Amino acid sequence: LRAMATSGTLKEEKATDGLRVSTKSEDVENMHRALQLAWQSNPVKSAYCVGCVIVDNKGQVLSDGYSREIEGNTHAEECALLKLAKLQTNLRGLKMYTTMEPCTKRT
């Protein structure tokens, strides 16, 4: 799913580079949740605010995270994975929704 935030709402963006775009309602909902999490990030000049949601194959949210959520950590994906590790869940078949890929450093 490719999406962009516009005034805090989710707007579908058409892929023009041959990538597949999902319009399934569960994908849109999970991407929207990831965008909401990104807004919880403490803004800094040197990094982006990112949100991440991890769901199982039934669509149940198992973990989530956002940039700088955990002290000493800057990546939303890593925060979500650290919390998921506490559940000792098999990672096979899980989906990760993130608002930015790849993570980059602002200049």
- Residue 80 · residue 54 · CB < 8 Å: yes
Closest of 90, 30, 89 to residue 64, by C-alpha:
30
Catalytic-labelled residue, pool 69, 77, 78, 101: 77
Coil, strand or helix at 61: strand
* 77 counts as catalytic: yes
> Could you list the active site residues?
77
